[in-house]
Chain A
């Protein structure tokens, strides 16, 4: 869902004004003076498209094209549709700790009828196919991929590849000159995950379009059907086919105010609240159980996260127009009941060159506190916690983004832009409490990613 917290001045296009403009243009264009200075009719169809190239060093690569179209119907309504696809390849962290000794991981990936001839080959990503001994009386047999992680290597899942397709449709309707309604549907599908959502929102202008109040509601329903089935949390990993599909539901609400502070400054403040219930685990992530003295991993367990999550965030955004340049500075504070807290600060400076060209450097700083149940590893012999995850996305870390964007017009009303960004995430790879061999390992390899985004927009 895209909650269009539109600036207060962009109310529905007035029909009279436009008709008058066209009439005046018609009068002046005919006869002697071809008045080129009269601006053309505002187009009613918009295009917003782009292609993203994403590369995470040594790990993930992705290409993601996206296309959005919008169409005005009369002066008060707008239909928008969009689709995005992404093809992801590469390796992603398993969640296990590295060791001075080689380690083996196993994951089921296919079920075949019993008796099917299977050649034990090397499956993708350097793993071996293993036939899992079937249970008594079973008519099917599971094939699992077994991978060996060399010593002193951060364990990655090399067979990772994911293709995603998502689409959305939305409608915006101006009910009066100051009141607007919007609604939409969205759908996203991967080979092991599906998400559907519906949203609705309202926005009202006050004080001659200087103030806008917005409110929106989003409902999302997700289904996870991982390859190999849904594992039981905190059980030892094995090659057996796991459990059935698991679902999750989330309701999000957002309320905001956008205020024209003065001719050059627009500010937005919003608050959002979300409540999620259901399966929140990453079915592929594991957590190591290590020996209390040597720090060597004894076994690996499937991770476990709570079944509910409540999130809140406050967002403040400012757009300031200098003589020709524009500064955007925003701040976001986030907190949820998993114990995660974060602060995001974002700054962009758009250097306007001539009428339509621009260069925009950008920096973003992000700082996150770990989830209560985040653990780099569990220690054998200690009490088993209710929830535990070694997914570094939930760990304590900070990250910085540095980017540059170039924009140029192609022809009337259209823009082509290129954006290059560098993302650098740092966590604590050597916690003070690390035991034995873990002291010499890097438990949080830094993540660096480069993105290149090419965009083309027309009348959007």
Chain B
């Protein structure tokens, strides 16, 4: 049995999450280069689609009502978002961010009134968006948010760049959404720790990953509790209310992080029917309630 060599790792913060890049090699120069490559790609995507600083997204949101010309990459993401909206029959909607203003998951336990939710829903709905590539036109007052796709997309993009650069086994982890290039050098899988939802920060289990990606969607970090009922922060864009009986966490394994993340979200959005959805679609997943 070969002695386990410690991987070269690069740690940084991006998309408000801890990120790690592991390189299965003893070449420290390569390890550094790969780490920098992933970090710069992750930051690039974060900056480009950020809601908080001048970016493509803030530009689109500030010009809601006007026709906006977008670049190729943004157009690809919008096409993808449109497809997911259709496939999920409206449950996945990148215009649902507006509901955020109504639901304050700040621990004060205040529930919004029905009227306020209905009001906010006037500005939610991809069907209100005119998207004719490369021109996007939101209705006034609407907003888009790539938060639901961005992190997984960044993982896949970063990994693609790494693979063009080197055949060495690499693991890219951006805040829990991760992907591997393949088996490690010794033919063994990568070992990934799954976070315990009840004791955030401690381990609930170990996953052995030989290929593909895993993405997690969950309710754990932000929620509202009132009268003993936990209102998750995942909102149903059609009703405006939190998804009923959503699992606390869903971890999905698929070939790409984008696919895994989307399946996790679609499952979460189905609330009580999450497991059934995952089973029917034959998804490798782990649901925690």
Binds A, one of B101-109, B160-168, B198-206: B160-168
Interface contact B76-A17, CB-CB below 8 Å: no
Within 8 A of B (CB), among A1-46: 9, 11, 14, 16-17, 19-21, 23-28, 30-35, 37-39
Q: Chain B, 249-289, contact with A by CB distance < 8 Å: what is the 0/1 string? A: 00000111011001100100000000000011111000000
Within 8 A of B (CB), among A176-217: 177, 208-209
CA distance A85 to B81 in the complex (A): 52
Interface contact A24-B259, CB-CB below 8 Å: yes
With known contacts A14-B280, A14-B281, A26-B80, A21–B160 Cβ distance under 8 A: no
Most chain B CB within a 10 A radius of its CB, from A24, A37, A209: A24
CA distance A28 to B254 in the complex (A): 14
A interface, over-half SS:
loop
Interface contact B160-A28, CB-CB below 8 Å: yes
Q: Is B24 an interface residue (CB 8 A)?
A: no
Residue on A with the closest CB to B164? A33
Interface contact A30-B258, CB-CB below 8 Å: no
With known contacts A16-B87, A20-B262, A28–B283 Cβ distance under 8 A: no
Interface contact B282-A27, CB-CB below 8 Å: no
With known contacts A19-B87, A20-B263, A35-B256, A30–B281 Cβ distance under 8 A: no
Interface contact B255-A38, CB-CB below 8 Å: yes
* Chain B residues closer than 8 Å to A32, beta-carbon distance: 157, 160-161
Q: Is B153 an interface residue (CB 8 A)?
A: yes
Q: Chain B, 152-177, contact with A by CB distance < 8 Å: what is the 0/1 string? A: 01001101110110000000000000
CA distance A33 to B172 in the complex (A): 16
CA distance A254 to B66 in the complex (A): 67
Q: Chain B, 25-63, contact with A by CB distance < 8 Å: what is the 0/1 string? A: 000000000000000000000000000000000000000
With known contacts A31-B72, A35-B256, A17–B282 Cβ distance under 8 A: yes
CA distance A27 to B78 in the complex (A): 10
Q: Is B195 an interface residue (CB 8 A)?
A: no
With known contacts A19-B87, A27-B258, A33–B281 Cβ distance under 8 A: no
Q: Is B79 an interface residue (CB 8 A)?
A: yes
Q: Is B84 an interface residue (CB 8 A)?
A: yes
Interface contact B76-A27, CB-CB below 8 Å: yes
Residue on A with the closest CB to B89? A16
Interface contact B280-A35, CB-CB below 8 Å: no
* Chain A residues closer than 8 Å to B266, beta-carbon distance: 16, 20
CA distance A21 to B153 in the complex (A): 13
Contact partner, B282, options A14, A24, A37, A39, Cβ 8 Å: A14
Residue on A with the closest CB to B84? A23
CA distance A27 to B154 in the complex (A): 12
Supply 8 further A-B pairs (C-beta < 8 A) apart from A17-B283, A28-B160.
Answer: A14-B282, A20-B84, A23-B80, A23-B84, A26-B79, A27-B80, A27-B153, A34-B160
Supply 27 A–B pairs (Cβ within 8 Å), ascending by A. Answer: A14-B281, A16-B281, A17-B263, A19-B83, A20-B84, A20-B87, A20-B266, A21-B259, A23-B87, A24-B156, A24-B262, A25-B256, A26-B76, A27-B77, A28-B153, A28-B156, A28-B157, A30-B72, A31-B73, A32-B157, A35-B156, A35-B256, A37-B255, A37-B256, A38-B256, A39-B255, A208-B279
A-B pairs, top 7 by smallest CB distance, nearest first, are: A33-B160, A24-B259, A24-B258, A27-B80, A14-B281, A17-B281, A23-B83
